[in-house]
Amino acid sequence: MTVRTFQRAGYEGIGLYSAIEQQCAVDLSDNTNLWGPAPSAIAAIRSSGERIARYPAAYSTSLVRAFSEYLAVPPECIATGCGSDDVLDSAIRAFVEPGGVVAMCDPTFSMIPVFTRLNGAVPVKIPFVESGRLDVEALLSSRARLIYLCSPNNPTGSVVRPEQIEDLLARFDGVVILDAAYAEFSDDPFTAMASTRDNLVVTRTMSKAFGLAGIRVGYSVSSPALAAEISKSRGPYKISSSSESAAVAAIENDIAWMRSCVEEMQANRNSLGQKLESLGFQALASSANFLMIPVANATSVGEKLASLGVGVRAFSDLAGIGDAIRVTIGPEKMMERFVDAFVQAVA
């Protein structure tokens, strides 16, 4: 007997997620907040220990209330999860039968084809017409039950135009997921739209702008009916009591802190873009906390950077782009370390 005797059909060839394990002195690989965690969350976690003998709230009632106030949407429109990964996975399971098609923009977040296959569904990738411009006709003719879009998009940083989403929502008879993990770094017209539409789910996270990737808290905004289906598919008790207290504390106390990190990030992103231009490299226009820089032989550039103590994410053969590295924007010192290493790595 081999594992194939036991393995579910369709799981063959799906590997574990390979996060960059090698610890670099300057880690610019995962788009987290390099200014650190939301300060109030730390104290909240410390004092949350007294409650851990008991189960947390099954669907994170106080966290839902906090998100509802933060985004000015009714609490019934919110579903939560163990990271927005969990919300995305649960939403795919909730809205797509096994064998159904999930269409997605390309390139995009690498976990989506994986979650699609793990739920027995079929991923179909639809390249952008040009940076940020969706091929609405191709998405519609893909026979999808669910369409996944991401704005600002990981790994490119491009944003989708609201008119294109309106067009898609009006003509599509399935659910559209718009992943807004990077919403805090740009204007976000989509979250407000989601609570009043019957087929739009916007997902968001505490992992990026709030610097809380370790507590694993994500959420979605949609009609109450879709939110209930996502919560059903997800199951109870997915957010620990410590994580819930930390996220609530951050939302209640650290919005101004988060916005000041975002402002500094934007200034550093602009100056890194200019610096790269002066070196002869053109980063893609980005509305998120990272820059995608097209470079030849990205894998080897990434390896050289790692050997110089700087971690980035390397991509090969992306649709419409080719090879590129993705660099998280952080404090000035880190950006200087990156530029020094980059100059050596591409020499």
Ligand X SMILES: *Cc1c(COP(=O)(O)O)cnc(C)c1O
Q: Does 227 bind ligand X (CB under 6 A)?
A: no
Q: Quote the tokens at residue 169.
A: 């929502």
Interacting span for ligand X (CB under 6 A) from 82-90, 94-102, 115-123, 314-322: 82-90
Residue from 179, 184, 244, 323 touching ligand X (CB under 6 A): that is 179
Cis bond leading into 123, ω under 30°? Answer: no
Residue from 95, 109, 185, 210 touching ligand X (CB under 6 A): that is 109
User: Least distance from C-beta 194 to ligand X, angstroms?
Assistant: 16
Residue from 96, 181, 226, 283 touching ligand X (CB under 6 A): that is 181
User: Least distance from C-beta 212 to ligand X, angstroms?
Assistant: 9
Residue from 119, 207, 287, 289 touching ligand X (CB under 6 A): that is 207
Q: Does 89 bind ligand X (CB under 6 A)?
A: no
d(CA 56, CA 111): 28
Size of residue set near ligand X by CB under 6 A: 13
Q: Does 213 bind ligand X (CB under 6 A)?
A: yes
Please, which residue, 181 or 345, has the CB nearer to ligand X?
181
Please, which residue, 262 or 339, has the CB nearer to ligand X?
262
Q: Does 48 bind ligand X (CB under 6 A)?
A: no
Q: Does 83 bind ligand X (CB under 6 A)?
A: yes
Among residues 180, 168, 158, the alpha carbon closest in space to that of 318 is found at: 158
Please, which residue, 87 or 335, has the CB nearer to ligand X?
87
Enumerate binding residues for ligand X (CB under 6 A): 31, 83-85, 109, 150, 154, 179, 181, 205, 207, 213, 218
